[in-house]
Structure 1
Amino acid sequence: MPIEPDGDARLQGVSLRSLPKVSLHDHLDGALRPATVVELADDIDLDLPEDDADELADWFADKSDSGSLVDYLKTFDVTTAVMQTREGLTRVAREFVEDLAADGVIYGEVRWAPEQHLARGLSLDEVVEAVQEGIEEGEDAAESAGHDIRVGQLITAMRHADRSLEIAKLAVEWRGRGVVGFDIAGAEDGFPPSKHREAFDYLASRFLPTTVHAGEAAGLDSIRSALIDGRALRLGHGVRLAEDLRVVSREGEEVQVQFGELARWVRDREIPLELSPSSNLQTGAIAAWGEEIEDHPFDLLYQLGFAVTVNVDNRLMSRTSLTRELHLLAEAFEYDLADLEAFQLNAAAGAFLTIEEREELIELIAEGFER
């Protein structure tokens, strides 16, 4: 049975929650505590679908389990509505970091779209400042509790809007003050990265790294545009890259696979895939392969040498944690601790940090798994 988000599991006698982890694909507006949503909504007189925290958690999970990314994204109307004040943003960011620390995360990147948090008069700079304040408060609280964690912001532009260049400039302005990279998010199908080429050109000229949502609701063309137009150093999800792999033969556990040129490029260049198993199931991203975690092409990609990483995407909507996602994969594909360590090392190598910081992170992971 899958563990609860706040639960734990053991593998080879080791607590999965205690293992050092790296979280690369984690949305701030998808990670609120249900009780916090209720309290913040009360502060601004916002009507909620459910007023009880447990019932609201059930509502988020039920609405998100739609098989459609578009329907899945509708639940964010509720969370973003309570993230329109400085106090709300700071609290959500602080609790986000605390929850990562409790999940065993030692380095995380949080993505969120500042343009979605201006409804009550805050400026773009003010919302970024509020989130950074919350992150630093959360890091301090974690340190006081004996857990070292560092969290960087991934400033995100909404791909269906026309503010990506403005948001790209915002990200560059805040580099060195908490921001580590850039992303585009939202409805993927019909809104390719090529529509935001000017923003990506600007980011490339300023050497700010990008990760791009691609290969979730749309297929290979979306991934190709992320790499070419977006200069993506990582692929947000990227699960549908498996469409560029053709299984030629199977003999027992031996699988012969023919690579398309796109898949081979991503594999050979070790471009990290930010895979989110539970979310990929909920949004229908793996519908071509099946409807269970065991059907996810994660293992195929891993066995073929892709730089796979494990992520939660949205903790609230998927009612999950990084510990739980690792447990689900270990159960589905009979992974051992060496496999789980490989996923964390892939994530550390793909983090938007300096090479010295990445090497230090890799050492911390190796030491943690050795213990």
Structure 2
Amino acid sequence: MKFPLQAVAAVVLVSAAAGAFAQKGETVKIAWLDPLSGLMAAVGTNQLKTTQYFAEEFNRKNLSGVKFEIVAIDNKLSPQETTSALRSAMDQGARYVMQGNGSGPALAIMDAIEKNNARNPGKEMLYMNYAAVDPDLTNAKCSYWHFRVDADTSMKMEALTTFMKDQADIKKVYLINQNYAHGQQVSKYAKDNLKAKRPDVQIVGDDLHPLAQVRDFAPYIAKIKQSGADTVITGNWGSDLSLLIKAANDAGLSNVKFYTYYAYGAGAPTAMGAASDSKVYTVSYAHYNMGGDMQKSIDGYKKKLNDDMVQTSIHHVFSLLDNAFAQTKSTDPVKVAAALEGMKLKSFNGEIEMRKSDHQLQQGLYITRWEKKSAKYPYDAENTGYTLAPVKYYEPYVASTPTSCQMKRP
């Protein structure tokens, strides 16, 4: 599957020396490495189109005058393929990398960039992580060259359980997650946070299943039904969430509510439909009905591509880089990395801050509920007639979690 690279207004020759000045019209290549094949292709395809859309928006008007060019490569959700894709991107002149699906590929990028930057001074690379949320990436395995703009698993669970603790109807919780770092962390933090905030709640199931391999979740739904659970917590994404919800609706699991991380992801709204009305909640840094400039982008994206923009964290990648380019008057990743540390911006979800100690973006989070679209919340998700409506907003300090990162700076 091939996707066109974004057209650029001009190409200029840039000095190879570190510290080259950013000039109006200078082109910066960003390598985008995520799945465009396999069960998670729909997710990756949506994220690529969102990346290209925002690149076009920022190319029309930004602070630095720099032009963004996206070099898209299918990493097949594989760490090995990711390493190979990164080498290809480097050969094409990319010094910035974007990735978001899976902590395995994320760690592969971090390891490769650490080695590259140590061995090749003057040719450093920088990694902007827009969706890989394993807390270890900004804790024990943190890297100076890695910046995460999504909220990590622990932050989202902090906000989600802060909301859940006040829901009196939650008594029995079933955990079902993908069997890799993120899913394992969702399970861990759910149990820890519920124990602290709602010790009366029973955990009646805790399943881990293979990532992007299950095509029929009916056996898992049968276990949930048998457990007597009134609530499910899942960090599943992509086909693993849409197929899980579809199986729940097919089985008539009408008395169980789902608390999710990714109900806005490609395919999930269609799976939910009318059957999930008021039964699915999600936690995120944004939602479909944001208002303001972000709403213009969300609506413009749908009008142009007949698709829903769901990964608005990608906007943070471009806004942070653009501000760093303008501040340093340079596109050199060494100078840009230094400028990003501690950077504060007013964004679509309030004030954001790239925490210097671990390069984890601090930001406000929303709890949303799946319900019929309305005059107040009119966005029509995947043309279902339903939307995710905000029910609670938490300031950055509520969901902020401590870090154990011992940052090694060059």
TM (norm. structure 2) is 0.29
Instruction: For CA contacts below 8 A with separation 6 or more, give which structure has more relative contact order.
Output: 1
Which is greater in Rg?
A: 2
User: Which structure has greater helix proportion?
Assistant: 1
